[in-house]
Homo-oligomer: A and B are copies of this chain.
Amino acid sequence: MLYPLTKRRSEGAIPIAANYRLVDAVVSNCINSNINKIYALTQFNSTSLNSHLSQAYSRIGIGKEGLVEVIAAYQSPENDSWFQGAADAVRRCLWVMEEYPVSEFLILPGHHLYKMDYQKIIEAHRNSKADITIAAFGALRDQDPGFGFLKVNSENQVVEFRLKSESKPINFVSVQAFIFDGYWEDMRSIEAFYQANMESTKKSNIGFNFFDRESPIYTFPRCLPSTLITDAKITDSVIGGGCILNRCKVKGTVLGLRTKIRDGAVIEDSVIMGSDVYQMDIQNGVDRKGIDIPIGIGEDTQIRKAIVDKNARIGKNVLIINKDNVQEGNNEANGFIISGGIVVLLRNAVIPNGSIV
C-alpha cells in the first residue's frame, strides 16, 4: 500500500526519480519494444493518471490512434458496477478490440519499475505454444517476495501457482514461465517506493538506467526553466527540472520538479516531489489561501529519510528527522504519516515553523 501517496492519485501517477511518473516505466518499455497500441484500464483515483497518459502519450501516433488510450471504468446498461479487480477490468474491455484482428495480449501492471524488451517474452511465448506465459522474477528464487510463487518444471512450464498460503495446481491451460533476472521493483510499499528512488540517486545507476539512449524513459515533455542554484553542496542526488536551490546541502536525495529550498536547509536521504506551480500569489507574507508558509522547504530546516509529497509547505527551523524513531504512525491531521520508519508528508501539507517530527 502506497497510501498516503495514493490519497488523490493512483499508483501509476506517483512521481518517481524527479521527472517521471511510475507508469512511464511500463509505457516506455512498450515503446522501446515496438508495441504501439496500449490500453490503460483505470479506476481508482484515476484523474491524474488519465491526465498524464492522455497528455504524454495521446499526441503520439499517426492518424486516429494515439499510442496510449485510457479506458476509465464506466457504467453501462449491462453492468452498473466498478471493475472488480484487474482480471474483470480486462474482461469488460475486450470489446474495444473487436475491430482489431489481434490474438495476443500483454497484460502489464502500471506500477512496476524495470526494463524489459517485451519482444523476448512474446518470442518465448510463441515458441512454447503455451496458452499463457507469465514473467517470473528469478532472482528471488528462494525468498518470499510477498506476491506469489510459481513452481516450474525443467522446461519452465508452470506446474503450481502459490499465492500466500494458498496453492493452486495449473490445469486445463498450459502456462509457461519467462524468467526475468534484471532490476525489478514492485511498488508494493512506501519502503519499496523509497528504495526505488534511492536507487536512482546512485552514480553507477546500475539498478535502472534513466540515461540509456537506446531505451529511454518517456514522460510528459515539459518546458521548465533551468534549475537555479545559489550555493549548494550536492552529493548522490538527482534534480528535476525548474528547481530553485538557495544556500543548502542536499545528500542522497531526489528533488522533484520545481522544488524550492531556502537558505540553510539540509536535506538527506529523502524524496522531495516538488511543486505543480511556482507560487505567485504571496502578498504581505500570506497567499490566496491565507497560508503564511510558502510552498517549498523553509530556512534552516532539516529533513532526513522522508518523502515529501507535492506542494508541501515546510516552514523555517523545522526538523523532519523522525526523532522518536517511530516505525508506523498516522498523523494525517498534522500533515504526515510514518511508514517503515519513513516520514511521509502529505500533498499540500503545511508544517509550521519550528515543528519537530
Which of chain B's residues has its CB closest to A70's CB? B50
Is A114's CB within 8 Å of the partner chain B? Answer: no
Is A173's CB within 8 Å of the partner chain B? Answer: no
Interface of A, helix, strand, loop or mixed by DSSP: loop
Are the C-beta atoms of B63 and A58 separated by less than 8 Å? no
Which of B43, B59, B239, B246 makes the CB contact (< 8 A) with A74? B43
Interface bracket on A: 35 or more
Are the C-beta atoms of A211 and B70 separated by less than 8 Å? no
A226-B75 contact in complex given A218-B63, A236-B231, A277-B213, C-beta closer than 8 Å: no
Q: Give the complex CA separation of A244 and B228 in angstroms.
A: 16
Is A335's CB within 8 Å of the partner chain B? Answer: no
Is A91's CB within 8 Å of the partner chain B? Answer: no
Is A307's CB within 8 Å of the partner chain B? Answer: no
Which of B74, B213, B220, B277 makes the CB contact (< 8 A) with A46? B74
Which of B58, B64, B101, B213 makes the CB contact (< 8 A) with A278? B213
Are the C-beta atoms of A211 and B223 separated by less than 8 Å? no
Contacts of A234 in B (CB 8 A): 229, 231-232, 234
Are the C-beta atoms of A211 and B244 separated by less than 8 Å? yes
Is A265's CB within 8 Å of the partner chain B? Answer: no
Are the C-beta atoms of A221 and B63 separated by less than 8 Å? yes
Are the C-beta atoms of A218 and B211 separated by less than 8 Å? no
* A20-33 interface code vs B (CB 8 A; 1 in, 0 out): 10000000000100
A9 to chain B, nearest CB (A): 10
Are the C-beta atoms of B227 and A238 separated by less than 8 Å? yes
In chain A, positions 79-96 with a C-beta closer than 8 Å to chain B are 80, 82, 93, 95-96
Is A134's CB within 8 Å of the partner chain B? Answer: no
A14 to chain B, nearest CB (A): 15
Q: Give the complex CA separation of A232 and B226 in angstroms.
A: 17
Are the C-beta atoms of B241 and A241 separated by less than 8 Å? yes
6 contacts across the A-B interface (CB closer than 8 A) = A17-B225, A42-B74, A58-B59, A60-B60, A63-B222, A217-B223
The 5 closest A-B pairs by CB, nearest first: A72-B72, A18-B226, A221-B221, A210-B225, A226-B238
